[in-house]
Structure 1
């Protein structure tokens, strides 16, 4: 983006703060089979720091998503990144008995972090007493978007029991769902329906405020519909929601999954910068910190106003 870009001019982000990052912080989880390892990143200064709990995409780990998590931490958030059981760093085979419930273990990982904030806080030098536990958000990319969505009220029909359980968590006040799955059933490819039976979400009870982010060229092999599938969490959920549509973006949205990672098929630093700023401004608004940045973003990305994308809200 250029110096005259309205988003850059109108959004007063401030100078990045040095970040302290500690990993792995190990949380014991009986029955999980592996301890839960998390990365905690926090700005060196500031008090009453809001928290972002970030869920990675399938196969990634606490080491991923630096372009987002580093930015958030350098601009006033404490970011906690668990490594879920599907991570390539753990090497769990598809035949592992935990595999059918990987989606559920992911949600439990997020809740375990929330239950262990005292340990998380104590693991980072100088962080004790600086968290604002009344301002917690859940965010995630791809599979991680569904995981975060469960904490907002999204429900999954458990392929083993056939039930839909409410796994929402009142401690989570807002969410960011990035390039994540839409409806299941007939919208899935035969491969997805056979191999990912948990990919059958209901958004009818996802009432917690959220920002949904989609790329209009995110042609996933999991659905027969095309890129609009990833907008379902916005259109099919009640309550206060916003949708950021990124023009020309594929699944990594320009490179959010990591620095120079092979998953990025549409490298675009300007697009990544926009995602950084939109998510930062949205969460500050949704968590009740300040609203001017989000108002500026919505104005700058109104329909047809910006070359990189648009924001709509309901």
Structure 2
């Protein structure tokens, strides 16, 4: 079966409204910049799903634009949060101090601060003073992220660690689904199952056969992505593994992975996330099945839909009492 003709991965500018938001969390004295991709078509009140996206180490709110544009052009808003403690400033300054800056950025405190950034950004976009709040469907809130941002997604989804007998937990029950792209391991944790057992929201995991993380002082093979998927506590999950690719193919870089595969993986990732949301929110497995068949030529592992039962059709029912 030949791969289909590739459409442009990014929607035309007129299809999407883009707003840069410069927030400050006064309680933590921390800036939380964000970029919002919003559907340009008029939407009824309470009708727009929202994805809150967390970037990888050394990225910013302007990255992963192909995802924001694709999702917004198809009716799902995307709020891309910038984490000032682990954004592109990591690569600035004295090159001999990069390792120190990476270590600080990857520190446990920053990992928890990133989760707090995501929750704070959601607070602000849903605030009564927000121009967008009335149009957002609060039953369809999604956490998403790439690399370090995938860890952030899992943390707001319920991942927890124990330190000195105390459980560190930044779960935000408002998020009902997670999109987990290229998740690193939780460094320093020996029992991944214990960390991820409490993640019970539906999760869509994406990686590639050449998805190796190589940073100063850190290296993570593809198997780590598979181990994270296996350890997530819910059975309501699916895994897509692209053949070839790389860790950075999921960023806005246009050449990594090759000029042919790169746009295919980007388009497939953007589409696959929405297909999974149809399964998680509407209990409809057919979009994900169709997606798997369409992209099978570049998939080493094609995702299969989990069984659709009562809890699958209403993934937020159990959490509403906690919100």
Normalised by the size of structure 2, how large is the TM-score?
Answer: 0.75
CA RMSD between the two structures? 3.6
Structure 1 distance, partners of 2:106, 2:303, is 39
Q: Aligned pair 1:147/2:152, yes or no?
A: yes
If each structure's helix is expressed as a fraction of its own residues, which one has the higher value? 2
Alignment check: 8 A CA contact 1:136 1:287 kept: no
Structure 1 distance, partners of 2:257, 2:19, is 30
Q: Aligned pair 1:235/2:230, yes or no?
A: yes
Alignment check: 8 A CA contact 2:244 2:257 kept: no
Change in 2 beyond 3 A, CA 1:201/1:57? farther
Structure 2 distance, partners of 1:258, 1:57, is 11
Instruction: Give CA deviations for 1:20-48 in whole Å, capped at 9, x if unaligned.
Output: 1100x122312433321111111111330
Q: Aligned pair 1:307/2:298, yes or no?
A: yes
Change in 2 beyond 3 A, CA 1:18/1:290? farther
Normalised by the size of structure 1, how large is the TM-score?
Answer: 0.77
Structure 2 distance, partners of 1:146, 1:113, is 17
Instruction: Give CA deviations for 1:196-243 in whole Å, capped at 9, x if unaligned.
Output: xxx998111111110111111112237777211111221112221110
Q: Aligned pair 1:134/2:139, yes or no?
A: yes
Q: Partner of 2:66: helix, strand, or coil?
A: helix
Query: Which one of the candidate residues 246, 249, 252 is aligned to 2:248?
Result: 252
Alignment check: 8 A CA contact 1:156 1:200 kept: no
Q: Partner of 2:175: helix, strand, or coil?
A: coil
Instruction: Give CA deviations for 1:102-158 in whole Å, capped at 9, x if unaligned.
Output: 1111000011122222359835xxx45221111000000000000011111112445
Q: Partner of 2:36: helix, strand, or coil?
A: strand
Q: Partner of 1:228: helix, strand, or coil?
A: helix
Matches within 5 A, 1:75-224: 75-85=74-84, 86-89=86-89, 94=101, 101-119=109-127, 122-123=130-131, 127=132, 129-157=134-162, 163-182=166-185, 184-185=187-188, 202-221=195-214
Structure 1 distance, partners of 2:29, 2:200, is 33
Q: Aligned pair 1:44/2:37, yes or no?
A: no
Change in 2 beyond 3 A, CA 1:163/1:181? farther
Instruction: Give CA deviations for 1:238-288 in whole Å, capped at 9, x if unaligned.
Output: 2211100111121023xx311548xx4555211211112111211232122
Structure 2 distance, partners of 1:120, 1:74, is 25
Unaligned stretches of 5+ residues in structure 2 = 94-99, 307-323
Alignment check: 8 A CA contact 1:16 1:75 kept: no
Alignment check: 8 A CA contact 2:193 2:231 kept: no
Aligned to 1:56: 55
Change in 2 beyond 3 A, CA 1:281/1:237? same
Change in 2 beyond 3 A, CA 1:136/1:118? closer
Structure 1 distance, partners of 2:145, 2:128, is 19
Structure 1 distance, partners of 2:106, 2:128, is 26
Aligned to 1:11: none
Shift of 1:176: 0.7
